[in-house]
């Protein structure tokens, strides 16, 4: 086993601190990755704070990982030392259930293994990407196209796939009017991806303070949800809404924005329940759905799509000792638009 530097949470309330995690030896199908960049997802904060259920501490989070392969097992053929490699929210699944066979490992019927806080096959608790190295089975390692800038690619591994998957499933494209609620990490990727797919994109943010940024990302329209005129103005005008907000919303207001057969998809994951009045779904035969990350095959497709269309996250790079401050800024909706940890700062 190898002990490597990491950023560690000792409890739900404790500030993040430097510490270590242990990585297993490289098995025949394993890839050891020296992590260069690690994105900060709001899910890291929900998890550590215990908002999604109890955790086992100490815990190292992070599931947006970009790095370089430094060792491969004897049976690994898809990766070689020196390759760029990515790891997202999953590090393993049963691979034999119907959902795994369909490439939807996130819905593994026997329980997919998350990149952090999950019990791994060997009984240890998985530890995430705020660390200098990770060892992952080759089937769950992604290829990072060379044309994508290395320091900005990590957020695609969660924020990218989590928005790409529902945009694809609900067929965002020319003639489809897509609304994106919340312009944070996931929201800004939803905008860029939906624009690249050819959809007409409307941002719904709390205020107009990020309007210029949203339009620069390619959004066609931008509205403030704090403006009482917004909801009547946009009534029945959207075909697909991707909700990326980390807090509960008044769903009725948003359902009212859906046109005939429109769908409201929540990827935002607040712990609190949100009441639904079914009558507001009867009108226009509306649907209310959720979506969880994406499978490995679709994640690779998303990376290749981003390379082909020049879709790149907007990031702010932080050092290992600035992560507490970055988390506070995420919680204050003050993120432009994804924090990425320069993992080299954890090596010194």
Which residues of this protein are in contact with ligand NAP, per CB under 6 A?
Answer: 41-43, 46, 158-159, 162, 182-187, 205-206, 210, 244-247, 267-270, 291-293, 330, 333, 335
Does position 165 bind Zn ion by CB under 5 A?
no
- For 61, phi then psi, to 5°, come to -100, -170
In the complex with Zn ion, the residue whose CB is nearer, 108 or 190, is 108
Taking CA atoms, 189 is separated from 102, 157, 267, 309, 333, in Å, by: 25, 11, 12, 13, 15
- SS3 percent helix, strand, coil of the chain, rounded to 5, is 30, 30, 45
In the complex with Zn ion, the residue whose CB is nearer, 132 or 163, is 163
Does position 134 bind Zn ion by CB under 5 A?
no
Residue nearest to ligand NAP (CB): 184
Residue 52 contacts residue 169 (beta carbons within 8 Å): no
- For 245, phi then psi, to 5°, come to -80, 135
Q: Which does 97 bind (CB under 5 to 8 A by kind): ligand NAP, Zn ion, none?
A: Zn ion
Q: Which does 144 bind (CB under 5 to 8 A by kind): ligand NAP, Zn ion, none?
A: none
Half-sphere exposure at residue 182, Cβ-oriented, CA atoms within 13 angstroms: 28
Q: Which does 32 bind (CB under 5 to 8 A by kind): ligand NAP, Zn ion, none?
A: none
Shortest distance (Å) from residue 226 CB to Zn ion:
26
In the complex with ligand NAP, the residue whose CB is nearer, 72 or 203, is 203
Beta-bridged to residue 135, according to DSSP, are 32
Shortest distance (Å) from residue 163 CB to ligand NAP:
9
Shortest distance (Å) from residue 173 CB to Zn ion:
25
Does position 269 bind Zn ion by CB under 5 A?
no
**DSSP assignment of 93-156, as one string?**
--S-SHHHHTT-GGG-TT--EESSSSB-TTSPBP--SSBSEEEEEGGGPEE--TTS-HHHHGGG
How far is Cα 192 from Cα 215, in angstroms, rounded to an integer? 10
Binding part of the chain for Zn ion, among 154-162, 223-231, 249-257, 278-286 by CB under 5 A, reads 154-162
Residue 92 contacts residue 120 (beta carbons within 8 Å): yes
Does position 307 bind Zn ion by CB under 5 A?
no
| Interacting residues toward Zn ion by CB under 5 A | 41, 43, 93-94, 97, 100, 108, 110, 158
């Amino acid at each position: 086993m190898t002990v490597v530097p990491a950023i560690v949470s000792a409890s739900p309330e404790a500030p993040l601190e430097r510490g270590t995690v242990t990585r297993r030896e490289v098995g025949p199908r394993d890839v050891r990755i020296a992590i260069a960049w690690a994105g900060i997802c709001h899910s890291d904060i929900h998890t550590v704070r215990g908002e999604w259920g109890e955790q086992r501490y100490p815990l190292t989070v992070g599931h947006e990982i970009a790095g370089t392969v430094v060792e491969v097992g004897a049976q690994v053929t898809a990766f070689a030392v020196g390759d760029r490699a990515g790891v997202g929210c999953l590090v393993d699944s049963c691979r034999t259930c119907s959902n795994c066979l369909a490439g939807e490992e996130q819905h593994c019927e026997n329980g997919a293994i998350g990149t952090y806080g999950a019990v791994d096959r060997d009984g240890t608790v998985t530890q995430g990407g705020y660390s200098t190295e990770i060892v992952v089975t080759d089937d769950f390692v992604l290829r990072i196209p060379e044309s994508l800038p290395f320091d900005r690619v990590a957020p695609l591994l969660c924020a990218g796939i989590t928005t790409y998957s529902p945009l694809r499933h609900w067929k965002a494209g020319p003639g489809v009017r897509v609304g994106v609620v919340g312009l944070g990490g996931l929201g800004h990727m939803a905008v860029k991806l939906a624009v690249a797919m050819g959809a007409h994109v409307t941002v719904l943010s709390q205020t107009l303070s990020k309007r210029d940024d949203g339009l620069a990302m390619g959004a066609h329209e931008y509205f403030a949800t704090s403006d009482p005129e917004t909801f009547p103005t946009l009534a029945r005008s959207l075909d697909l809404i991707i909700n990326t907000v980390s807090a509960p919303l008044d769903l009725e207001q948003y359902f009212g924005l859906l046109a005939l057969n429109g769908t409201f998809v929540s990827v935002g994951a607040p712990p609190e329940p949100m009441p639904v009045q079914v009558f507001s779904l009867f009108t226009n035969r509306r649907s209310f759905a959720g979506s969880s990350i994406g499978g490995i095959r679709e994640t690779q497709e998303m990376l290749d799509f981003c390379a082909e269309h020049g879709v790149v996250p907007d990031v702010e790079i932080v050092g290992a000792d600035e992560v507490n401050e970055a988390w506070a800024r995420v919680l204050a909706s003050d993120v432009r638009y994804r924090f990425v940890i320069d993992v080299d700062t954890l090596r010194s």
